[in-house]
Amino acid sequence: MAKKLICNLPNASNNISGIAFESYEQGGMISVNEVDDRTAYRFLKIKGYSVVDVAGSDNKGGGVESTVQSNKSDKKAKTDSAQKSEVTANE
């Protein structure tokens, strides 16, 4: 399925590592064109990026079906925070 990148970083540019982005109706920036799996994987290593499957050709976010993958660092941060809370509560 076709994929696009979403960037939720503040001060994001219209061109990030050679990929063109534009404003996204739901906030942040979305890649103008679809990206391949390798490019998506490279961006997912960076906090603040996620990948969406796209169903239509509207670059403004129309046709976006669902977020399929988000940055693993975000998930790890939430897990680390929960573990710290548990340790504090047990002390």
Structural domain boundaries in the chain? 3-90
Structure-model confidence comparison of residues 89 and 49, the more confident one: 49
**Residue pLDDT, tens place only, 32-81:** 999 999 999 999 999 999 999 887 544 444 444 444 456 554 544 444 44
pTM > 0.75: no
Q: Is 16 exposed, middle or buried (0-12, 13-18, 19+ CB in 10 A)?
A: middle
**Residue pLDDT, tens place only, 3-23:** 999 999 988 899 999 999 999
